[in-house]
Amino acid sequence: MRITGIRVVHLGAPSTPDFRLNRNWAFVLVETDKGLAGTGECTLLGMQDAVDGAISQFATFLTGQDPRRVEHLWQQMYRHPFWRGGPVLSAALSGVDQALWDLAGQALGAPVYQLLGGPVRDRVRVYPRADTPGGPVEQVVEAQRQGFTAFKLSPPDPRGPFDEVALIDATLALLAEVRQAVGPRFDLMVDWHGRLSPAGAIRFLEGANPYRLLFAEEVIPPDNVPAYAQVARAAPGTPCATGERLFTRWGFRELIETRGVAVLQPDVCYAGGISELRRIAAHAETHYLQVAPHNPNGPVAMAASLHVAAAIPNFLILEYARKYPEFDAALREPLKLRNGHFELPTTPGLGVALDLDYVAQHPHNDVPIQSAWHTDGSVADI
């Protein structure tokens, strides 16, 4: 079997009055001379044109090679361009890697998780986020009614002037209201998107102790691992998580070895694909850290994440971006969700097939860059 072509197709999730909810999903198709095609996802919001260009460059040396040599091709994509890592090259590599695993599974007639050593669990627990119509309390209560056992909240809208103390206080007040509504057994998380200072993060984590968070995500920017370790030591009662903006095992190495967080969040679309998520998880396991893959993207990324989650022993929970009707409509056969868990796909490869006619009918959206500002007009993290 030989690769005959690699291309990217795009699907735009619906344009909404709130531009933050708009998404463009990018899917990689690796085609072969045997009539099989592997599918991956390389969605990278705001930088997709650059990712598409990187995949075109990869195609110049991957075409003609055997797609079943997944690790061999991964090493070429990572090492031969000379420039390593970063969001663009890692997203391109991740999408192609997923497609190669999909092809390998199809060629062998087995789901990808069987090629990863077989499943260590029978289903995969997922959580939705506060991004559907209605207030956050109502959304959490509705998710609980639908059978979910966990939910991730966001602080109040960060657009406009940013006041760290006021935002922390408002978020703690929201947590108190939500915890009262859903009771003590329902898991809650808060995603800060790196907006807080270390001092602010400690203040929030200490205040959040009574609400028993499963984890607090990206309380500070991801660039300074010692700062994460400082926060974790100062406020050990609420576990911290990060990883969506880290790339490959080398990007996670220091965070794991210093135990800067309790939960790692590599993304199958950014961190190096299925191949690399397994390696990151294995390294984390030696330090008794859990893995909760980041996954705000489309249905192929969900399928790829499910296969990894099925095969790693230190998996905690998986993110599920459920708000888009296109999530199921883009697939010929939707993934199966029941009581807050996805069932494991049973068909060969990733177990999903894109409806390419549907994808072609939904072109990408124009999604502007988000902005946030401090009260003095200086730039704040989004």
**Token pair in block for residue 354:** 């894109």
CA distance 309 to 281: 10
DSSP element (H, E) containing 27: strand 24-32
Please state the separation of Cα 366 from the chain's center in Å: 21
Q: Which residue intervals of the chain are DSSP H helices?
A: 48-62, 70-79, 86-108, 112-115, 136-145, 164-182, 198-208, 225-234, 248-257, 273-286, 299-311, 326-329, 356-360
The 3-state DSSP composition of the chain as helix, strand, coil percent (nearest 5) reads 40, 20, 40
Q: Residue 287 catalytic?
A: no
DSSP string, 71-108: HHHHHHHHHTTS---HHHHHHHHHHHHHHHHHHHHHHH
Sheet of strand 341-343, all strands in order from the earlier edge strand to the far edge: 318-319, 123-127, 341-343, 337-338
One of 294, 341, 362, 364 is an active-site residue; which one? 294
Compute the half-sphere exposure of residue 115: CA atoms within 13 Å on the CB side of its CA: 27
Q: What one-letter code names the amino acid at 78?
A: Y
One of 10, 72, 80, 193 is an active-site residue; which one? 193
**Token pair in block for residue 307:** 């296969």
Find all residues with CB under 8 Å of 89, minimum gap 6, and list them: 54, 81, 83
**Length of the chain measured in residues:** 382
CA distance 24 to 45: 7
Q: Residue 341 catalytic?
A: no
Cβ–Cβ under 8 Å, residues 5 and 58: no
DSSP element (H, E) containing 131: none
Active-site annotation, residues: 193, 294
